[in-house]
Structure 1
Amino acid sequence: MAEAGDKPTIAIVGGGFTGAAVALHLAAGWAGPGRPRIVVFEPRPQLGGGLAYSTREPTHRINVPAGNMSMYPDDPTSFLRYAEDRITPANDPDARNAAGLLFPRRRVFGDYVAHEIEPYLASGAIEHRQAAVTAVARDGAGWRVESDGAESLPADIVVLAVSHPDAGLPRALAPLAGHAGLIAGDTGPEALTAVHAEDRVLVVGNGLTAADVIATLNRQGHRGPILSISRRGLRSRGHAPVPQEFEADFTSPPPETASQLLHRVRVSLREADAQGIGWHAVLDAVRRQGQALWRLLPVAERRRIVRHVRPYWDVHRFRIAPQVEQVLERAIAEGRLDVIAASLRGARADADGIHIALKSRRDGETIEKTVDKVIVTTGPAHGGILESQPFLSGLRDAGYLTLCATGLGLACDDQSYAIGADHLPVKGLLIAGPLARGTFGELMGMPQVSEHALDIAHLIKTLAARESPATENAAADQRT
């Protein structure tokens, strides 16, 4: 705990986009004395990239137009201006789609975040500890953050801005654990160099990661057959050829059930179609109202959405970049890529390859396939977040962290304070970014994550401005 009279210390665990945005908004525009010490724990050398935006793979692109990406909710074209100043037909001839919208490589966005935060690092307003956090524990009224290779840090407020863990190995693939033909966890370009040009490949999953994998394999010269499976056979959709708008209020009257909300969306889809407007605009309208809709629904109805609607929502909500979509469509047209609805039933390996048993969703029949490589891209393990890192499991065991009721992340209240095992807000422990999705609903897109980071920064500023760390504790006591 900081000594009485010291300026408060804010520890941010995780220096991807969310953590970097919280730190930047905390440091920016802090007038007068009392600016806290802001320390970001991030093992990577550059803040802001995280897993998504630190990639150097040229086929990995942001999945929305650059005009929809910004660190600043009040300046939505910030990244677009940055990208347009640096991207030219010479250094990225495929950056724009047919409508002229810019879809930069993901590393460009990571560089943009680093560019924005650099002045605060240079001035000392933000400290970057290039270390992994190993433990977070109560220390008096505050916290103590332990990390590898660095001294412990007393902190008044801890902000958890970590990401979801990789999906675990599907049970049916357990016999392949340790096999050279299995690529799971790390599916980046270096891991994919193990795939030979003519290898027969099974991709488990049809989402954005699967699309990245297939695009990377294509760039690396792979020409063998690829079978991509998911339980429903759904794959991420592309963007509308031309941006459109659709106006609808899905919050009035407030929906009481998931079925009511789904009915309204279907009615709007028919109305839009009659007007020559595509589904993209309708679902964009739903997304803009996503947090309000989520708050209106009871927890039981939120669970129904997660269980029954989310797979369909995700493939329409999280769209692939047009450059990646072209790669997939070409591979399908050429017969190199097949996408089916099937589930894993078993796997074994011998000298002839990896033998996979699948169950077809269409007719329930067993499908036998022999491949050379199996690549697992089944997405994050939302329910496994508390077991993903020792410091998270330690906070859980101490009663400071719990899973949210929908299984999408960590439980927190409307101000983003973690909810402990006693069902009460935990003083000085905040959840930032997608891990708070269970409380806020739509919290995966860049605009929502930016706004959430700004909200947390404003909350911390308000607490610090009132007096000192002691004031924060008193305010939290009033809530509990």
Structure 2
Amino acid sequence: MTLHGSFLPQARFGEPGIPVPRFAVIGRGFSGLMMAIALLRVVRRPFDLQLFDPNPNVSGGQALASLQIGEILNSRVRDLSVADGDPDDFNRWLLDNAEFRSAVSAAIPGFHQIFVPKSIFSDYAYRRFSEALASRRDVTVRICTDVVQTVDRMPDGRYHIATCDGEPALYDTVVLATGYGTGHAAAPAEPVVEGTVRARRLVDCPHALLLGSGIRVVDRLFQLRDSGFAGRITILTAHGFLPQSHTRLAADPVELTAPLPANLRDIVRHLRQACQQAEASGQDWQSVMNAFRKQARSLWRSLPARQKRQFNRHLRAIYDSHRNRLPEPHYLRLQRELAIGNTTIRKGRAGPVTSKGAMVRWRDTASDEFLAADPVIDCRCAAPDLAAPLLAGLLQAGLAVPDELGLGLLVNATGQLLVDGKPTDDLYAVGPLGLGSLPDIDLVPEIVSQAYAAAERVADRCLDVGLGVGKAC
């Protein structure tokens, strides 16, 4: 499928002696879509863009009229703009939609503080992509549903992409935007079907098992209850933590006056004391966490590998429960659900899963037990499978290396793949593939910032070529 934009007067598409660069973005989830938006807005010369994803659905986004709770977005409208340097863009888009305004009239004149369903944000992101494309008649965008098998670097510096079904092709810049990777991501959560729920009501003591500890677990819990499931629900987590609550209004970061320690144990102690002091003075612990996140990336880089592994093993679950927070009404609903007692949290790790339940190793035990449940819904996000053909080929060719924790690929702030401390030219991994290198790079605001930084780097490379340096871009 090929898409063309509309005419731009400054475009020099096909001007003699100026080759048109070719960019490839592998993955068309939010990271890939955001990268496409950033390239369309930042790179001001003509180019060809190929978007690879086996999912044939291009338009995405659901109608704004279907204003159901759906999956929860855990960031406020004020933090979800896809326009670089314009944090009010999403709010204006919502204000311009009459259906949304009539449904959420209490928030007028602005929606900065509210949380919206993922379907609303998805529609916004795809509309902005469509508008960015329409403004660029000098750009050609192609959609390919073939699965990318390998990315190889050629002697001239371009990248050779081979798919399972298509013809191999050469690209000047390649961006990996596959979310949590290829080949090993957690299976999609089972949809809740009303007819299935009715059938389960006839079964004695129906029992559902949810695997995970993040926002997706809470999504599925609410969807089960809203669809009429009245049976027992067990949430199985490794450490027993679920998302904490946002404040009713945004908690602005407090100033951390004392410098943060360099040792992991001391950092944890420092944060606990800062949160206690904030609450004692009438502020919220969320303000401290919001301030800490601004320094988390530099702190992470300074930690030795041993302490990073300690954090990942013992503290990540606590950190994630405090950074991936629930809107206050959802958090209160979750607490009511747990207080009733028909939903319980149990600590353990799931083994093989069947249609009738899962093998579970409970916390502090050495034996496995079969826990009967129907349905079993996996809400976990697994790390990328570095043995999958695409990633394994990059590692074997020396174009990429794993991060210190093996959570994904080693990258810098702009998403450039790093090998021996040096960036691999014109090869990027944006979004959660870099989670082991960049804390919080799985969140929307951080992905947006990284995508624009990567696009600026691509544009700079194109300028270098225009001055006689480099490849076609």
Normalising by structure 2, we get a TM-score of: 0.81
After superposition, the C-alpha distances for 1:287-319 in whole angstroms (9 at most, x for unaligned) are 122223223333333333222221100011101
Deviates more, 1:263-272 or 1:462-471: 462-471
1:26 has 2:43 as partner: no
Contact 2:146 2:166 in 1 (8 A): no
- CA shift, 1:60, in A, is 1.0
**Counterpart contact for 1:165–1:385, Cα < 8 Å:** yes
**Contact 2:70–2:119 (Cα < 8 Å) also in 1:** no
1:295 equivalent in alignment to 2:301: yes
Q: Does the 8 A contact of 1:418 with 1:430 survive in 2? A: yes
State whether residues 131 and 148 of structure 1, in contact with CA within 8 Å, keep that contact through their aligned partners in structure 2.
no
* 1:66 aligned onto 2:77: yes
- Structure 2 alignment gaps of length 5 or more: 1-15
| Structure 1 residue matching 2:376: 3-state secondary structure | strand
SS in 2 for 1:333: helix
Cα distance in 2, alignment partners of residues 469 and 197 from structure 1: 68
Query: How many angstroms does 1:473 deviate by?
Result: 6.4
C-alpha displacement of 1:398: 2.5
Matched, 1:10 2:23: yes
Q: Separation in 1 of the partners of 2:358 and 2:22? A: 55
Alignment of 1:22-421 (within 5 A): 22-28=35-41, 30-31=43-44, 34-45=45-56, 58-86=69-97, 88=100, 91=103, 101-122=113-134, 123-124=136-137, 125=139, 127-134=141-148, 135-140=150-155, 141-147=157-163, 150-165=166-181, 185-189=187-191, 196-198=199-201, 199-249=206-256, 253=259, 255-322=261-328, 324-344=330-350, 354=357, 358-360=361-363, 369-377=371-379, 379-382=380-383, 384-388=384-388, 390-413=389-412, 415-420=414-419
The TM-score normalised by the length of structure 1 is 0.80
Alpha-carbon contact 1:238-1:322 (below 8 Å) kept:
yes
Distance 1:205 1:441 in 2: 20
What letter matches 2:394 in structure 1?
L
Find the counterpart in structure 2 of residue 179 from structure 1: none
Deviations along 1:247-306, one digit per CA (max 9) or x if unpaired, are 2337x6453211222122112111101111222111111112222322333333333322
Q: What is the identity, as a one-letter code, of the residue corresponding to 1:395?
A: L
Shift of 1:8: 1.6
* 1:206 to 1:139, Cα distance in 2 relative to 1, 3 A: same
1:41-92 deviation digits (Å, cap 9, x = unpaired):
23445558699x9x99742131121111111241112112222433547656
Gap regions ≥5 residues in structure 1: 170-183, 476-480
Q: Residues of 2 paired with 1:91 and 1:344: CA distance?
A: 41
The answer to whether the 8 A contact 2:231-2:342 is kept is yes
After superposition, the Cα gap between the structure-2 partners of 1:300 and 1:47, relative to the gap in structure 1 and judged at 3 Å, is farther
Do the aligned residues in 1 keep the contact of 2:94 with 2:101 (CA within 8 Å)? no
* Distance change in 2, residues 1:108/1:262 (3 Å): same
Structure 1 distance, partners of 2:59, 2:107, is 22
Which letter does structure 2 place at the counterpart of 1:427?
D
Q: Is the contact between residue 61 and residue 124 of structure 2 (CA under 8 Å) also seen in structure 1? A: no
CA RMSD of aligned residues (A): 3.8
For residues 61 and 194 of structure 2, the distance between their equivalents in structure 1, rounded to whole angstroms, comes to: 20
> Structure 1 residue 204: deviation in Å?
2.1
Read off the aligned partner of 2:372 and give its amino acid letter: T
**Correspondence for 2:3:** none
Paired with 1:126 and 1:264, the residues of 2 have a C-alpha distance of 52
Distance 1:468 1:419 in 2: 25
Kept in 1, the 8 Å contact 2:40–2:133? The answer is: no
The sequence identity of aligned pairs, in percent, is: 23
Instruction: Show CA shifts across 1:380-438 (max 9, x none).
Output: 222x43234x3223223323222111223211245532234x66532321121222233
Answer with 152-161 or 326-335: which moved more.
326-335
Partner in structure 1 of residue 6 of structure 2? none
- Displacement of 1:457: 0.6
**Matched residue, 1:428:** 426
CA–CA distance in structure 1, aligned partners of residues 249 and 183 of structure 2: 35
Cα 1:219–1:128 change in 2 (3 A) is: farther
Counterparts in 2 of 1:76 and 1:203: CA distance versus 1, 3 Å: same
Alpha-carbon distance between aligned partners in 2 of 1:90 and 1:458, rounded to the nearest angstrom: 39
Aligned to 1:175: none
Distance 1:106 1:154, change over 3 A: same
* In 1: Cα distance, 2:182 partner to 2:107 partner: 29
In structure 2, the CA distance between the partners of 1:157 and 1:341, relative to structure 1 (3 Å rule), is: same
C-alpha distance 147-73 of structure 1, shift in aligned 2 (>3 A):
same
Post-superposition offset of 1:467? 1.7
